């Protein structure tokens, strides 16, 4: 399989050079907009491109307000803060996620608790969430708390793994039953829709990343999606050092964050989002080619759930055994095609090893069987 896969991918990308997992694509107005920013001298947190980028994301996602931040972790930290998460709170999330999901909690003094992911989406499983709550939590007049410590369970954070939307309707029902806030880690899912609605717009807040390996990039950057103009205005205030507007005085009315996206990054984002529909079409067609390639093999290509339209940020296959997975990882990387395993589960990391967790059977299966394969948009892809 290795030789066939390497040849297939190198033919797709029309190169014998090393093929990364996901590289940015700059074919539009990136240089023009960045040069305009440099010429304006407004290269930091003030400038027209920041507001322009926020408006463009609002239009694309149909969110009431989008607030740009310096990176995706800062966006998630802000979203959790705005949802009312505070020190000593418990936040339930999935163990199969990038470490930033948990680090955002850790640095605000909250604790993650881990539940399993769903075979349907590879994201947080609503059935596993309900089982966890029934076993470990109780509902009081102040909301859900852990039975053992009486700590408040303030939020549930599903992550749309590799861009595939989680089972949101079912998760919302569980969160409503237990009076827990839903905050979406949509870092990987710009351009993904759940039943026609963009991810990140279902919870109280959503957070998107624009890191260099995402569907579009601002170099580094993120954005918070807000459900109302009022919550958006407060989010903007909090992320810009909570400075009260004044022609010249510096007065700050709370301990805010300096999470402002620089105008340089926003300029890059404005050019990138102009190409987003093309990128999504290209990536979805690439996923179909991969699906066809693996259709008669022992590998299972990960496809979008039936209820969703995914951006296919990172394409993935499930190998028949951990041994086959290890061999394929080694052989492809040695032959100039970058593949990688998914993240080590969060409860295996030293800082989160003592966190409360439910059964993680499917998360452990995915950890030992899944490989990500090159997913950059392909230039001049036929059919795209």
Scored b (16 or more CB within 10 A) or e, 93-123 reads bbbbbbebbbbbbeeeebbbbbbbbbebbbb
Structure token digits, residue 254: 């709370």
Q: Are residues 291 and 339 located together in one domain of the fold?
A: yes
pLDDT, one tens digit per residue, over 312-363 is: 999 999 999 999 999 999 999 999 999 999 999 999 999 999 999 999 999 9
pLDDT number for residue 256: 95
3-class secondary-structure state, position 342: coil
Specify whether 336 is located in the same domain as 306.
yes
Range of the domain at 12: 2-24+276-373
Its pTM stands at 0.95
The 8-class DSSP code of residue 316 comes to E
Q: What pLDDT is recorded for position 45?
A: 83
* Boundary of a domain, candidates 249, 274, 299: 274
CATH number of the CATH domain containing 212: 3.40.640.10
Kindly report the CATH number assigned to the domain that includes residue 363: 3.90.1150.10
Q: In this predicted structure, what is the pLDDT of residue 379?
A: 83
Low-confidence ranges of the chain (pLDDT < 50): none
Structure confidence at residue 383 (pLDDT): 58
């Amino acid at each position: 399989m290795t030789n066939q896969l390497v040849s297939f991918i190198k033919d797709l990308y029309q190169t014998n050079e090393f093929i990364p997992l996901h590289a940015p694509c700059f074919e539009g107005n990136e240089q023009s907009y960045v040069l305009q920013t440099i010429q304006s001298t407004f290269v930091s947190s003030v400038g027209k491109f920041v507001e322009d980028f926020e408006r463009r994301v609002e239009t694309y996602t149909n969110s009431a307000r989008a607030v740009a931040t310096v990176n995706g972790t800062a966006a998630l930290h802000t979203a959790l803060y705005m949802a009312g998460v505070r020190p000593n709170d418990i936040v339930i999330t999935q163990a199969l996620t990038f470490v930033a999901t948990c680090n955002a909690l850790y640095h605000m003094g909250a604790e993650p608790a881990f539940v399993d992911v769903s075979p349907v989406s590879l994201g947080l499983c609503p059935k596993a969430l309900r089982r966890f709550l029934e076993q470990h939590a109780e509902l009081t007049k102040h909301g859900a708390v852990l039975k053992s410590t009486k700590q408040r369970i303030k939020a549930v954070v599903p992550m749309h793994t590799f861009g595939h939307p989680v089972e949101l309707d079912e998760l919302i029902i569980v969160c409503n039953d237990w009076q827990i806030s839903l905050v979406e880690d949509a870092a990987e899912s710009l351009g993904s829709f759940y039943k026609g609605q963009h991810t990140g717009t279902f919870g109280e807040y959503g957070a998107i990343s624009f890191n260099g390996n995402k569907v579009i990039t601002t170099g580094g950057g993120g954005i918070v999606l807000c459900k109302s103009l009022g919550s958006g205005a407060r989010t903007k205030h909090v992320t810009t050092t909570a400075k009260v507007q004044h022609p010249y005085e510096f007065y700050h009315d709370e301990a805010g964050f300096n999470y402002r996206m620089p105008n340089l990054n926003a300029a890059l984002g404005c050019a990138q989002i102009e190409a987003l529909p093309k990128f999504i079409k290209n990536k979805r067609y690439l996923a179909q080619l991969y699906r066809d390639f693996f259709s008669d093999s022992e590998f299972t290509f990960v496809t979008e759930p039936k209820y969703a339209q995914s951006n296919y940020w990172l394409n993935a296959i499930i190998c028949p055994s951990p041994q086959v997975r290890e061999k394929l990882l080694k052989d492809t990387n040695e032959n100039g095609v970058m593949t990688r395993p998914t993240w080590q589960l969060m409860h295996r990391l030293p800082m989160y090893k003592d966190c409360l967790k439910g059964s993680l059977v499917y998360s452990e299966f995915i950890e030992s069987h899944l490989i990500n394969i090159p997913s950059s948009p392909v230039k001049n892809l036929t059919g795209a």
